[in-house]
Structure 1
């Protein structure tokens, strides 16, 4: 298929056992004008075997292979090859509702100033139920991330901000991406429907960001987006105080074993602290 309107990017690193569910949810879409790019980020499992099966099933599936470089690198690699006007990242262990693309394209058609379209979400796997996140606002975004990775944006906007920042090596890559994309304006729309399903799996709990890593990422974010944070906290002093408050709050709560478990499910400081992808 030439020039699809939507490109779905599925990075995969040793997640072949989940891949069928994610790709089936893509194939089930009621909206036809899409391509799905599977990016094998140096997997050592049978990702290639499964990907080739899906290519034979439908030629809208495409397969790319690269050396392992992490989630940001894999997403960027796939988006570079994408032919679509709109991009939808989808992690290999998650899934989407069959109406997601159709509803999102309808939203973009109604508002040409939209930069991001996302939806309501539910968890599945080890935990089920609604994934309750704060409503979007730039101020809320300055405090925490509330837009999961599987949201729609335009490829031209991805190009304009330089893609996903590969310096976000420990996590929070989605938070940084949305700040880069939205801090200078652009509308955001959340669909009323539940269209994204986020898998809670055992490996997620083994890959948490430690205090030193979180400090590094917070310092990097604060420097890169100092204009954004100062705008919402009022001054360098207020920004410093807020950073110290967040750090202290995080350290205190990490002392509680109960919180360490709870933080995984509630995604304190953004859902990437316990990233599923390494």
Structure 2
């Protein structure tokens, strides 16, 4: 009996297969029109587990195979009874195959599985639509080594095209399964791997990495694929071997030179989240309040909350505010809080009011000496609170701590890693909204504005420097910012509305002698919130910088600068006389009408 399992199959193909099954009586059909192939694969594997046969063969029906493909696969499994499965691969060892899967999982066009091992495996996860089969292979490889089939048994494979609507889900699934099995690798759960092989591969990768960095010094990389592979394997094996600090230093150096490497960012994220620099628990008299605004991101919320639970610093509180979510995020939050059962965590809900108003409510509902807002799809590393509190204690003029940040997801790089620079605070957003703020500074500066289309954080930091507060930046990456494929609020990629609003509220830092055409050019130069030097009012910036070290004198200079410009209580709107146009823009971006703040 041959089992045919297929998803997203056309009605014509279904009819053909049903005809063949009726004529031969030897086809077991498991078919679905859904794009999610997991139920089909699950049903086929259940039958394989119940079978008395020793082996199960899974093939991609769109792939062409050499005549000897199936006999070769069976012979390899019969010759090596220790292996759990075999797939086409150029890898020269089982360890290399595992390292490849931990870096870049994929659906092999042909898989042969040992049913005895398959029977002891867990069922496929229902929430995996795109990486169910790779997850099964990783799961099996924990218990037994894989074997390599000759790649030449595959004569042609179909081109894979990712549906743009599936991109975020596929990325989330890939991250989820890889991070789980990388953690199992760190904990030495793959106990069939000989330590001698680990040591040998680590030594090889050390030499490769040294050679690659020599290439970088010369301004060239012969192969970016080899760069990724060597850095990834070195980091993974170094962490496995207890050389965490070496891996940390190597990854930091790597991202300071070459960005946008997803596999390397994934392993860097694993390192900073699972291996704190300083062991806890660390207690202190200063409470840190963490406000988590929640709007339709319930599926990420647990990661954000657990990143706080895992802090080495223990004196904190969380206030989650559901901002009128239109999905099940509020119910997810309630269930999570009940399950965690920690009285330091509270949940509030309200009609949608927008990010600024939601953050402000959380700040008003909490009482910590230091405060931060953490978006529900982001995370902080275990060292963040302890490091920020220590830095605040050292310098009373520090109004906020900027965390060096790992950006992961659609983009993968380090952000906000530079020390405080007055000009940069004017020219761009100098810090993430999840920076930790001194509450006394917040009370002087004021809360987030609630009448902006977006980028409330950029305007927030401008008010901090105008009151004479400064910032310090952490040396280590302590904040993880998720760059989603389709992040709410980023469809207006030029941030035109936000740029108009913020520059109108702080006109003394920007040129006011430009024609509308030149002003539009200034706003269009960068897709993010950033301005070129030619748009800056250098005369005022130089006056302010000259006196910045003497706060009293600096505040006098700021008042003098501001006095030459009319006070703006409300921001001007981009190409609109309607003061409520920001609400219209939010509704278009987020799909819900925010309640206007009185």
After TM superposition, list the pairs within 5 Å mapping 1:90-239 onto structure 2. Answer: 90-131=374-415, 135-169=419-453, 171-204=454-487, 207-209=490-492, 214=496, 216-227=497-508, 229=509, 238-239=511-512
SS of residue matched to 1:18: helix
SS of residue matched to 1:20: helix
> Structure 1 residue 52: deviation in Å?
2.5
What is the aligned partner in structure 2 of residue 233 from structure 1? none
**Change in CA separation of 1:106 and 1:134 when aligned onto 2, cut-off 3 Å:** closer
State the distance in 2 between where 1:165 and 1:91 align: 17
State the distance in 2 between where 1:204 and 1:50 align: 20
Structure 1 residue corresponding to 2:352, chosen from 45, 52, 68? 68
After TM superposition, list the pairs within 5 Å mapping 1:35-74 onto structure 2. Answer: 35-56=317-338, 57=340, 58-74=342-358
> Structure 1 residue 8: deviation in Å?
0.3
**Change in CA separation of 1:180 and 1:244 when aligned onto 2, cut-off 3 Å:** farther
**Structure with bigger gyration radius:** 2
RMSD: 2.7
State the distance in 2 between where 1:206 and 1:114 align: 30
Structure 2 residue corresponding to 1:247, chosen from 503, 506, 520? 520
Alpha-carbon deviations, 1:196-216, whole Å to 9, x = none?
1110112227733366x61x4
State the distance in 2 between where 1:4 and 1:249 align: 43
**Change in CA separation of 1:129 and 1:221 when aligned onto 2, cut-off 3 Å:** closer
State the distance in 2 between where 1:132 and 1:83 align: 27
State the distance in 2 between where 1:148 and 1:76 align: 16
> Structure 1 residue 42: deviation in Å?
0.6
State the distance in 2 between where 1:109 and 1:117 align: 11
> Structure 1 residue 134: deviation in Å?
5.6
State the distance in 1 between where 2:417 and 2:517 align: 24
> Structure 1 residue 71: deviation in Å?
0.4
**Change in CA separation of 1:242 and 1:80 when aligned onto 2, cut-off 3 Å:** farther
> Structure 1 residue 133: deviation in Å?
5.9
State the distance in 1 between where 2:343 and 2:475 align: 31
TM-score when scaled to structure 2?
A: 0.39
Larger RCO, structure (CA 8 Å, separation 6 or more) = 1
1:118 and 1:151 in contact (8 A); partners too:
yes
State the distance in 2 between where 1:47 and 1:101 align: 26
The count of corresponding residues between Structure 1 and Structure 2 is: 248
**Change in CA separation of 1:132 and 1:119 when aligned onto 2, cut-off 3 Å:** closer
SS of residue matched to 1:37: strand
Greater Cα shift, 41-50 or 138-147: 41-50
1:133 and 1:146 in contact (8 A); partners too:
no
2:366 matched to 1:82? yes
What is the aligned partner in structure 2 of residue 269 from structure 1? 530
Greater Cα shift, 104-113 or 55-64: 55-64
> Structure 1 residue 239: deviation in Å?
4.1
> Structure 1 residue 162: deviation in Å?
2.8
2:499 and 2:523 in contact (8 A); partners too:
no
Structure 2 residue corresponding to 1:19, chosen from 301, 314, 318? 301
> Structure 1 residue 177: deviation in Å?
0.5
Alpha-carbon deviations, 1:37-81, whole Å to 9, x = none?
101001122223332234331111111111101100110011110
Alpha-carbon deviations, 1:166-191, whole Å to 9, x = none?
1112x121100011122221221101
State the distance in 2 between where 1:113 and 1:138 align: 14
Structure 1: 5+ residue stretches without partners: 231-237, 254-262
**Change in CA separation of 1:76 and 1:206 when aligned onto 2, cut-off 3 Å:** closer
Structure 2: 5+ residue stretches without partners: 1-284, 532-585, 591-598
**Greater strand fraction, Structure 1 or Structure 2:** 1
**Change in CA separation of 1:147 and 1:126 when aligned onto 2, cut-off 3 Å:** same
